[in-house]
Amino acid sequence: MIKPIGATELKPLFVYDTTEHAALTKEAATLPSILISSQAAGNAVMMGGGYFTPLTGFMNVADAVSIAETMKTTSGQFFPVPVLNLVESIDAIKGAERIALRDPNVSGNPVIAIQDVKSIEQVSDAQMKLMTQKVYRTEDMEHPGVKTFNSSGRYAIAGPIKVLNFSYFITDFPDTFRTAVEIRNEITERGWKKVVAFQTRNPMHRAHEELCHMAMDRLGCDGLVIHMLLGKLKKGDIPADVRDNCIRKMVELYFPPNSAMVTGYGFDMLYAGPREAVLHAYFRQNMGATHFIIGRDHAGVGDYYGPFDAQKIFEDEVPKGAMQIEMFMADNTAWSKKMGKVVMMREAPDHTKDDFINLSGTKVREMLGKGEAPPPEFSRPEVAQILMDYYRSTL
């Protein structure tokens, strides 16, 4: 199986040993504690599950800035985005060498991890500006990722962590949330050797489904891991449980047995376009995928990124040899009226815009809200029904 990045085996930071877990839980009650941001909690979950191997915890400012500029830490370890524990106030933990990190996303704010405090630094305006510009390619506070990153606080608490739970993901999505360790184990159990991963934060329409089939056929893959984001999204995005139902129905009806796994991960979307595409590829290698589908405007939002910027970054900016996982670079896919099937648009040069059935997201939402199913060439009827039921329930 493909090796994790920067290590011979995964390094999950979740404390699996029951004796150690019980001792740390008891210790946490005696430690100074601090409420962390939702983004930091998501990063803790990702580190706990082994997705961010070989990270041992939250970065210091020097490493975060170095990663923003070069995608490498000061010691040369490859990583695509800063992973910081930013807080607004450190009054509750001044002088502490070990602290409890409390989860903002669960009632009662239970301890999600224990952190050894190696440093507490105040991030300067210049450093925040540089990281924002490099990672998000904009400083516009209307960008949801920029706003979140710049609203978390300016004190960076660095140091290794030990993760005690997987937040709400394990309770709200018990059939879908999986750690990188669990996905690797299941890939082995299924006997898959060549595996392609598909990232989604949306329900999968016909074009997404066919893109996955295309990638599997062209790459000669044994299996597909549909890996959906279960964390916080921007206003207007489809809730994770609805997406989960849609995708499971599609796989049940339109994929052969033992060809697709439906899984999810706990993380808040960055909407960082190209940089987030690299992060997505990074942790897909760590979970055992050999290939990863990078689509048009991957992980983008609004008009902040060019349609293929998330593909170009792998050629232009990612350090050579940093990852073993291979990219399947995809164009927009849509139903061709001429050919009677879903195709990649760039592979149909004789087509005009009118030769495709390609509805805008706004148009689809309007139709679903009125109880109108999109055409079957755009969306499977069983999936459309789940979405219509959801939209009607919000009226």
* Tens of pLDDT, residues 51-81: 999 999 999 999 999 999 999 999 999 999 9
Rounded alpha-carbon distances, angstroms, from residue 6 to 53, 76, 274, 275, 323: 7, 11, 21, 19, 9
pLDDT beyond 90 at 392: no
Q: Please say if 201 is a catalytic residue.
A: yes
Question: Average pLDDT of 294-321?
Answer: 94
In terms of DSSP bridges, do strands 86-87 and 98-102 run parallel, antiparallel, or are they unpaired? unpaired
Q: Are 178 and 187 in contact (CB under 8 A)?
A: no
Q: What 3-state DSSP class applies to 197?
A: strand
Residue-by-residue DSSP string for 144-166: HHHHHHHTS-SEEEEEEEEE---
Are the C-beta atoms of 163 and 17 separated by less than 8 Å?
Answer: no
**Predicted pLDDT of residue 365:** 81
Based on DSSP, count helices (H) and strands (E) in the chain, helices before strands: 13, 15
Give the model's pLDDT for residue 323: 97
Q: For position 201, what pLDDT does the model report?
A: 85
Q: Is the model's pLDDT at 348 over the cut of 80?
A: yes
DSSP character string of 285-336:
HHTT-SEEEE-TTTT--TTSS-TTHHHHHHHHTSPTTS---EEEE---EEEE
Instruction: Note whether 115 and 101 are within 8 A (CB).
Output: yes
Residue 361: pLDDT over 80? no
Q: State the catalytic residue, choosing from 190, 201, 248, 365.
A: 201
Q: Look at residues 111, 113, 105 and name the one whose alpha carbon lies nearest to residue 29.
A: 111
Query: Which range (179-183, 236-240, 287-291, 378-382) has the least confidence?
Result: 236-240
Mean pLDDT of 305-334: 95
% pLDDT > 70, the chain: 99
Task: Work out the pLDDT band at 99, boundaries 50, 70, 90.
Answer: very high
Length of the chain: 395
314-324 pLDDT, tens per residue? 999 999 999 99
Active-site choice (109, 154, 190, 202): 202
Q: What is the pLDDT of residue 315?
A: 95
| pLDDT at residue number 231 | 85
Q: How far is CA 262 from the centre of its chain?
A: 14
Digit-coded pLDDT (tens) for 195-219? 999 999 888 889 999 999 999 999 9
Q: Which CATH number fits domain 18-170: 3.10.129.10, 3.90.1150.10, 3.50.50.60, 3.10.400.10?
A: 3.10.400.10
Strands 223-229 and 98-102, bridge-based pairing: unpaired
Residue 234 has pLDDT above 80, yes or no: no
Average of per-residue pLDDT across 29-46: 97
* Segment 366-394 mean pLDDT: 90
Quick one: pLDDT at residue 157? 98
pTM: 0.94
Closest CA to 268 of 17, 36, 55: 36
**184: nearest Cα among 255, 281, 285:** 285
- For residues 309 and 204, give the distance between their C-alpha atoms in angstroms, rounded to a whole number: 22
Q: Does domain 174-393 have CATH number 3.40.50.620?
A: yes
Beta strands, E only, the chain: 33-35, 57-58, 86-87, 98-102, 111-116, 119-122, 155-163, 195-200, 223-229, 260-265, 291-294, 326-329, 333-336, 341-344, 356-357
Q: Using CA atoms, how far apart are residues 207 and 379, in angstroms rounded to an integer? A: 8
Longest dimension (CA), the chain: 69
232 has pLDDT over 80: no
- Judged on CB neighbours under 10 Å (0-12, 13-18, 19+), 360 is exposed
What is the arithmetic mean of pLDDT over 267-286? 96
Residue 202 annotated as catalytic: yes
For the chain, the average pLDDT equals: 95
Q: Identify the residue whose tokens are 């962390």.
A: 36
The pLDDT-based confidence of 21 (bands split at 50, 70, 90) is very high
Chain segment 161-196, per-residue pLDDT in tens:
999 999 999 999 999 999 999 999 999 999 999 999
Domain boundaries, the chain: 18-170, 174-393
For residues 385 and 64, give the distance between their C-alpha atoms in angstroms, rounded to a whole number. 45
Peptide bond before residue 54 is cis, with ω within 30 degrees of 0: yes
**pLDDT for 296 beyond 90:** no
